[in-house]
Chain A
Amino acid sequence: MNHPDIEQIYTEYRDRVMGYIYARLRSRADAEDLCQDVFVKLNKKLNSFDSGKASISTWIYSITRNSVIDFYRGSHPHEEIDENMAQDGAIDDSLLNDETLGELAEALEKLPAELREIVVRRYYDGMPLTEIAKTMNMSYGMVKLRHNSALELIRRSMA
């Protein structure tokens, strides 16, 4: 089995790994350190990477994501981990690929603008529905109803 070269991986993914980590840590020094740790881990695990189980991108993302979670649990035990990251359970690798992201984009494009906004703010920006309601000048009840409608439309579109 051909394994990718760590230097190639570093060249291609370094910026993405760093961007993902920095967005969460908000400290350039910590992000640089953790980024280096991620590539050390990748180098150690390279021989065990199985391209039949996951794409290289998903594999690197998984290690990066888990490294950020470990960082918070280890060095900042009192800080809350981003809700979007804190969910336990293994990442389903078959779900995380460019094709699925494209399907999601298509599903969002079909939504009415208001529903699309609720979804992006809730799941990309991580805003709670109560905050979205204030931002969009709507009652919480209405936002919740529209949020549920949006999920149903996306579910049907991506089925």
Chain B
Amino acid sequence: MEKRLTKLFDYQKFAENPRLQAVIDSVHRKHRQLSMDEAELVTAAYAPYIQPTTDEKKDHQPE
């Protein structure tokens, strides 16, 4: 089975069957999305906490 799959997937790189390509692309899209999500998590983890300024604190005081 492994040899058969190897040959079929290699042939797919030439023949570009649309249905099979859609399956392949869906796996690649998922991998790209995961990579982007992981990148966002890393960015969020390192985002500095910004202290509100004195003026901003005053703006939020009840009148």
Give the interface of A toward B (CB within 8 A). Answer: 16-17, 19-20, 23, 57-58, 60-61, 64-65, 84-85, 87, 91-92, 95-96, 98, 100-102, 104-106, 108-109, 113, 116-117, 119-121, 123-124, 135, 151, 154-155
Contact = CB atoms under 8 A, between A and B. Distances in A.
Q: Is the interface of B mostly helix, strand, loop or mixed?
A: helix
Interface of B: 1-17, 19-20, 22-24, 27-28, 30-31
User: Lowest 10 CB-CB distances: which A-B pairs, in order?
Assistant: A101-B17, A105-B20, A105-B19, A120-B27, A123-B9, A123-B5, A61-B14, A124-B9, A96-B11, A151-B1
Contacts of B16: 16
Contact of B4 (A20, A64, A95): A95
Nearest to A64: B14
A117 B25 CA distance: 11
A52 to B, nearest CB: 20
Contact of B9 (A84, A87, A106): A84
Given A87-B6, A120-B27, A151-B5, A104 B20 contact: yes
Nearest to A118: B27
A155 B1 contact: yes
A113 B14 CA distance: 25
